[in-house]
Amino acid sequence: MILRKVKLKNFISHAESELEFNLGVTVLVGPNGAGKTSILDAIVFGLFGERVRGDKVEDLIRRGCSSAEIEVEFEQDAKNYIVKLLRKKRGLEAILERKDFGTIANTATEVQKEIEKIIGLDRETALKSIIVRQGEIASLIESDPRERKKLLGKLIGIENLERSWEKMKDLIDHFKNMARNYDEVKTKTEMKERRRSEEKEKIKTLESELENLKFELEREKKEFDEANERLRQLKEKRDRHERLSRELSGLETQMGLMKSSLRDLEIRYERAIKALQEAEILRRDVEKIPIIERLLEIKNNIENREIVRKERTKELKRILELKRELDETRKAYEEYTGLEKEISELKIRIDELSKLQITKAEIDTKIKSREDEIGRYLDELERIRKEAVKYLPEVSAEAKNRVLTEVQREKEELEKKLSRLEQEKGSLRGRKREIEEYMDILGESNVCPVCKNVLTPEHREKVKQDFQNEKQQILLILSTIEKEIKDLIGKKNELDTKIRDLQKLDIERAERIQMEVKQKCAEIQDLRKIDGEILPKLSELENYNKLLEKALDKQRDLKKDYERHLSAKRGLERERNEEGVRNEISEIEKEIKTLEKEFEDLMVKAGSPKDLQNEYRRLRGVKQKYDELSAIARDAEKLEKDKLTLETEIEKLKAQINSLIGEIKDLGFKKEELDKFEMICQEKSRKITEISTKIEEKKKLLDQGMNILESLEKEIEELKKQLDKLDRVINFIKDLEKIRAAFSRDGVQRLLRSLASPVISENARKYVEKFNLDITDIVVSEDFDISVIKGGEELPLSSLSGGERVAVAIALRLAIARAISGKISTIIMDEPTTHLDEERRKELLEILKNFFREGGSIPQMIIITHHRELEEVADTIYEVEKVDGISRVSFVSSVS
């Protein structure tokens, strides 16, 4: 995995920061507390969902903000991926995209799973492989042996096995506790089975007793039904006797009421005859009422018509006045409206010309904008051209691809040559170590270590001298090879720089710029053509403005008469037609004359009363008395008919009463017999209830027994399941104990150490050779004891110099990372110089220069530091500072 880019927005102390990571060494430098490690936090949180520091997730959001955003871009297998995280106060949104594909995952969990699949490492292994935290570089060497072994075991995963071994004891103890109550469960099961047999016997006895009670209940019910039927017949006679008695009583009551009603009808009939005679006397005055009412109505109508006639006369006068006003102002109105049309046409023309002014201003602005854009494009084009001519004969994509291919081919040839020289160098170093071993073996030995022949002292000295000569020859050749390798590495670095610079050249951008410039020039030409067409039309604008002002002045002079005309016109529109009003006045006068003639005729018929209102009130009183007497008189005929009808009904009711008395006598009901059978039924009912209660009690006991039996069955079944489960637990405990034994220090842990230690030793040996120290070998034993071979001798770690300790620690750190994750593409070192004095920082700097700038096997390294010395090893430098509490990242340089 190669990191390409990281963006932070409102993350910890960063408001908005963006960094790009190239191959080689990138150094993030700045004072403590500037926000450097926050960038590492963002990378680790974005890729693996973990925090380097122990902050709460909410603390990742910059103070005063509601959310934080992280975007990390990385490359794996030539494909580019982007992780986007939005951390809110309550919740996390995550998206993983592939540039050539689109969205791959859109939840935090899915994103983490997909990243693990893409890079081929689980989160824990990836973090151990990639991140070297503060103080970890030399901790492998400087800690005591026990802590060192623990740290090595943690890095390769043995700590997890040890933890699993320890935790499995708790698990085994847990299951042993579960199995302890096996005998108790077994005893409880046997007791429950005996109880079940006892309950079955009780149930059998209850069922027999229940059958006997049911037989007795049936017998009693039969006798009860016979007595109850006789009782029912007697109750029917009693009910009929009571009903007939109530009916007789009702008829006798009804007879009394009817006789009382007959007496009342006779009194009311006599009163109605008397009222009829009095009403006839009052009828003549009542007949005058309609004449008086009509006289009052005519008088009122004449008064109303007079009021209307006066109003119509005023209306006619108003209409004539408005017509006069309209005639006087007609000429001014016509001139004013004519000017309105003229002014409207002038305003339309002026608006059209004003829009042309705006259009011209917009065109001028567009022309200026296009010219500014062309200027910026030409400046950018010139910058690209200056960069391109450093390497290319011409500024074109074909030339860039051709030169890039040639440089890459040259680099491949150089790398092949370097590889051959490295192989030759390794062979010579191997032969040198072999010769040194032979010379050590020779010592005072009389046997040749090569051919195993017996040696004389002279022959031994000669062999020693031959070995010494061969060693000197090898050293000379190695010196030549190393010089040649150093020269080739220098050339390779130059080629890498050239390739990076060529790849950065955006020739396609230059071609797009040329097309844009051509298009902008064409747009400017079109805009200037339109501008030329607008200019002649704008000269007419001033003339139209003068004409408009003259028309408006004249219109203001006419406005008063114009408004008078409009007012008179609106007034006439509200008024009615003059002829209609005159006709209405004539009609009203005719109606008044007709009404006056009718009034005179009716006064003669009414006897010419002096006051119509008083006469009308007197007659209304007479009418009220007449109506009351008439109402009473109208009931005379009806009352006579009702009296005859009621007398007939009284005779019929007498016959019904006599009939009921005879029917009651024939029924022959005796209450003593009814009481007797009620006593018999009550006794039988009590007996039935008693037997039914016993049956219910037996049924309840039977149900209880069945429930107890069912409960016992379930308990026995559950206990048997527990016994079966406990049997399986006991067998499972045996299996767990076998598995735990396999996870012990002498099991899988030992196997893992035996597999890991030679791999770590081999990789550490290869890495330490790159530091150009006289340390020839590093050996990590199966128990993670570390041995350093220097000058053919094994030395304690405490005897190494500060620089040698750092070199060995880095070699081991890289070797362990490679052992657990295969080829590493990226290493991030957070404050590697922490707790190092100035001298040790210089030694670390030299180590990094030798390793990462002279053929190191890690393509990408990111160093976070507050020491400026480490800038010397950088290919790319970013400076991080904090201003007003906000971290800011500045690109400093890209070192060639």
Q: What is the pLDDT of residues 732-774, one digit of tens each?
A: 778 777 777 766 666 666 777 777 778 888 878 877 776 667 7
Burial of 860 (0-12, 13-18, 19+ CB in 10 A): buried
User: Which range among 52-56, 530-534, 714-718 shows the weakest confidence by mean pLDDT?
Assistant: 52-56
Contact assessment for residue 21 and residue 80, using Cβ atoms and an 8 Å cutoff: no
User: Which range among 127-141, 507-521, 547-561 shows the weakest confidence by mean pLDDT?
Assistant: 127-141
With 90 as the cut, is the pLDDT of residue 133 above it?
Answer: no
Return the residue matching tokens 């400087």: 142
Mapping DSSP to helix (H, G, I), strand (E, B) and coil, where does residue 98 land? Answer: strand
Return the residue matching tokens 């209660």: 693
Residue 876's DSSP bridge partners are: 26, 894
From CA 89, how far away is CA 436, in angstroms rounded?
67
Q: Would the CA dihedral through 336, 340, 346, 350 be positive or negative? A: positive
With 70 as the cut, is the pLDDT of residue 215 above it?
Answer: yes
From CA 414, how far away is CA 491, in angstroms rounded?
8
Q: Specify the pLDDT at position 14.
A: 92
Name the residue type at position 166. Answer: E
Whether CATH 3.40.1000 fits 292-391+524-574? no
From CA 777, how far away is CA 766, in angstroms rounded?
9
Percent of the chain with pLDDT over 90: 7
Return the residue matching tokens 């050293």: 475
Give CATH for domain 135-180+745-829.
Answer: 3.40.50.300
From CA 424, how far away is CA 430, in angstroms rounded?
10
User: Which range among 30-39, 101-110, 355-364, 698-707 shows the weakest confidence by mean pLDDT?
Assistant: 355-364
Q: Would the CA dihedral through 596, 600, 601, 602 be positive or negative? A: positive
From CA 687, how far away is CA 677, in angstroms rounded?
16
How many other β-carbons are positioned within 10 Å of the β-carbon of residue 204?
Answer: 10
Any idea what DSSP says for residue 447? B
With 90 as the cut, is the pLDDT of residue 5 above it?
Answer: yes
Domain boundaries of the chain, sorted by first residue: 1-127+868-896, 135-180+745-829, 292-391+524-574, 397-504
Question: If we measure between CA atoms, which residue out of 21, 11, 64 comes closest to residue 41?
Answer: 11
Angstrom CA distances, 343 to 305, 337, 546, 552, 747, stand at 53, 10, 11, 7, 108
Q: Which range among 166-175, 467-476, 502-511 has the greatest average pLDDT?
A: 467-476
Angstrom CA distances, 289 to 294, 301, 601, 629, stand at 9, 18, 16, 18
- The CA angle 314-318-323, to the nearest 5 degrees, is 150
Strands (E), 301-424: none
Q: Hey, what are 277's tokens?
A: 């005679």
User: Which range among 146-150, 276-280, 321-325, 531-535 shows the weakest confidence by mean pLDDT?
Assistant: 146-150
pTM: predicted TM-score of the whole model, two decimal places = 0.39
Angstrom CA distances, 558 to 169, 338, 345, stand at 114, 11, 19
- Tell the CATH superfamily of the 1-127+868-896 domain: P-loop containing nucleotide triphosphate hydrolases (3.40.50.300)
Return the residue matching tokens 């007949």: 287
With 60 as the cut, is the pLDDT of residue 895 above it?
Answer: no
Mapping DSSP to helix (H, G, I), strand (E, B) and coil, where does residue 132 land? Answer: strand
Q: Which residues contact 509 (CB under 8 A, 6 or more apart)?
A: 380, 384
Question: If we measure between CA atoms, which residue out of 102, 96, 132, 87 comes closest to residue 117?
Answer: 96
In Å, how far from its chain's centre is CA 678? 80
The rounded mean pLDDT for the chain is: 82
From CA 857, how far away is CA 851, in angstroms rounded?
8
Angstrom CA distances, 447 to 297, 433, 436, 455, 466, stand at 168, 20, 16, 5, 16
From CA 46, how far away is CA 41, in angstroms rounded?
8
Contact assessment for residue 367 and residue 359, using Cβ atoms and an 8 Å cutoff: no
What mean pLDDT comes out for the span 340-347?
86
Angstrom CA distances, 546 to 236, 336, 357, 555, stand at 122, 18, 18, 14
Confidence bin at 446 (pLDDT 50/70/90):
low
649-664 burial, b for 16+ CB within 10 Å, e for fewer? Answer: eeeeeeeeeeebeeee
Q: Which residue would you say has higher pLDDT here, 345 or 427?
A: 345
What mean pLDDT comes out for the span 873-884?
90
With 80 as the cut, is the pLDDT of residue 851 above it?
Answer: no
Same fold, 292-391+524-574 and 397-504: yes
Return the residue matching tokens 């893992």: 752
What mean pLDDT comes out for the span 355-362?
83
Q: Which range among 116-130, 625-639, 709-723 has the greatest average pLDDT?
A: 709-723
Q: What pLDDT digit, counting tens, does each position of 797-819 carry?
A: 777 776 677 778 877 877 776 66
Any idea what DSSP says for residue 771? T
24-29: strand order across its sheet: 102-105, 91-98, 79-88, 67-76, 2-11, 14-20, 886-894, 876-883, 24-29, 860-865, 826-830, 131-132
Contact assessment for residue 248 and residue 660, using Cβ atoms and an 8 Å cutoff: yes
Contact assessment for residue 421 and residue 484, using Cβ atoms and an 8 Å cutoff: yes
Residue 889's DSSP bridge partners are: 880
Q: Helices then strands (H, E): number in the chain?
A: 19, 15
From CA 760, how far away is CA 753, in angstroms rounded?
10
From CA 207, how far away is CA 187, in angstroms rounded?
31
From CA 77, how far away is CA 119, in angstroms rounded?
9
Confidence bin at 371 (pLDDT 50/70/90):
confident
Helices (H), 606-670: 612-634, 636-667
Task: Provide the angle, in degrees to the nearest 10, between the axes of the packed helices 802-821 and 838-852.
Answer: 40
How many other β-carbons are positioned within 10 Å of the β-carbon of residue 550?
Answer: 12
Residue 886's DSSP bridge partners are: 883
From CA 120, how far away is CA 118, in angstroms rounded?
6
Q: What pLDDT digit, counting tens, does each position of 234-267 carry?
A: 888 888 888 888 888 888 888 888 888 888 888 8
Q: Specify the pLDDT at position 139.
A: 65
Q: What is the DSSP string of 512-539?
A: HHHHHHHHHHHHHHHHHHHHHHHHHHHT
From CA 29, how far away is CA 35, in angstroms rounded?
10
Q: Specify the pLDDT at position 551.
A: 84
Q: Specify the pLDDT at position 299.
A: 86
Residue 827's DSSP bridge partners are: 861
Q: Which residues contact 373 (CB under 8 A, 6 or more apart)?
A: 516, 520
Q: Are strands 786-790 and 876-883 parallel, antiparallel or unpaired?
A: unpaired
From CA 831, how far away is CA 39, in angstroms rounded?
13
Confidence bin at 156 (pLDDT 50/70/90):
low
Percent of the chain with pLDDT over 70: 89
Please, which contacts does 260-265 make with residues 24 or more away whose CB atoms are closer than 8 Å?
261/646, 262/643, 262/646, 262/647, 262/650, 265/639, 265/642, 265/643, 265/646
Question: If we measure between CA atoms, which residue out of 829, 823, 699, 811 comes closest to residue 764?
Answer: 811
Q: Which residue would you say has higher pLDDT here, 267 or 14?
A: 14
Residue 19's DSSP bridge partners are: 6
Residue 172's DSSP bridge partners are: none
Confidence bin at 854 (pLDDT 50/70/90):
very low
Residue 863's DSSP bridge partners are: 27, 829
Give CATH for domain 397-504.
Answer: 1.10.287.510
Q: Specify the pLDDT at position 78.
A: 83
Contact assessment for residue 97 and residue 794, using Cβ atoms and an 8 Å cutoff: no
Any idea what DSSP says for residue 34? S
